[in-house]
Structure formats: structure tokens, C-alpha cells
């Protein structure tokens, strides 16, 4: 299983979230630093298009681990809620194309 880890203690707002994601996921230089761009980049994990450093196999899942999730929940609860919502939406997008979900959120 592919794995990426974000540190909840250093995510205090949307800019810090996007900065950490840009590095952790290997988003392209033109990444827009917004949720629309985040969703777009993670919607092509099974395509070899260079939107992330990950290229998942047909049944593979990318586990997104939020370490120190309680710190993130305390600092930016709306961010964590929106992130969960986006992951659900991305997985629904995969299902719409007859594919298995590609993302799993793990809070530690």
C-alpha cells in the first residue's frame, strides 16, 4: 500500500496544509495551492500523468496518514472536516469510473 504522512502539528491553516501536501505528494510546480487543485491531482493516481509522485496499480490504495491528528483538530477543525469530505468525493469519482477507491484517511 502506498503511504504518505502529514504532520498535524505543523498544519495550522490552509497555506501550511498545501505546502506540506505539495512536498509529501510530489505535486507539480503548477499546483494551485487550493482544494480544487488538491482534488484534481489526487483524482489521477492510477494514470501516469505526473500529477503526484504516486502511480497506483488498479487495486492499490494510497493511505494518507495524519500524524498528531488531535493537534490538527484543535488548530484547524474545519480543515480536517473538509479534507475528509474531499477524500470521500475523490473516492466517489473513482467509483463513477468503475474503479475501486484510491484513498484512505488514517488519523493517528
CATH architecture of the domain formed by 2-107:
2-Layer Sandwich (3.30)
Report how far residue 10's alpha carbon sits from residue 82's, in angstroms, rounded to the nearest whole number: 17
Please state the three-class secondary structure of 34-102 as a single string.
CHHHHHHHHCCCCCCCCCCCCCCCCCCCEEEEEECHHHHHHHCHHHHHHHHHHHHHHHHHHHHCCCCCC
pLDDT at 48: 87
Task: Give the pLDDT confidence of 12-48 residue by residue, as tens digits.
Answer: 999 999 999 999 999 999 999 999 999 999 999 999 8
Domain ranges of the chain: 2-107
Average pLDDT in the chain: 97
Amino acid at each position: 500500500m502506498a503511504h504518505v504522512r502529514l504532520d498535524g502539528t505543523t498544519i495550522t491553516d490552509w497555506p501550511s496544509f498545501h505546502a506540506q501536501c505539495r512536498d509529501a505528494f510530489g505535486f507539480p510546480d503548477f499546483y494551485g495551492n487550493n482544494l480544487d487543485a488538491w482534488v484534481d491531482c489526487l483524482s489521477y493516481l492510477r494514470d501516469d500523468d505526473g500529477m503526484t509522485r504516486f502511480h497506483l496499480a488498479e487495486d492499490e490504495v494510497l493511505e494518507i496518514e495524519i500524524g498528531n491528528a488531535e493537534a490538527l483538530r484543535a488548530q484547524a477543525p474545519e480543515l480536517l472536516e473538509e479534507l475528509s469530505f474531499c477524500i470521500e468525493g475523490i473516492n466517489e469519482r473513482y467509483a463513477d469510473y468503475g474503479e475501486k477507491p484510491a484513498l484512505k484517511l488514517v488519523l493517528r
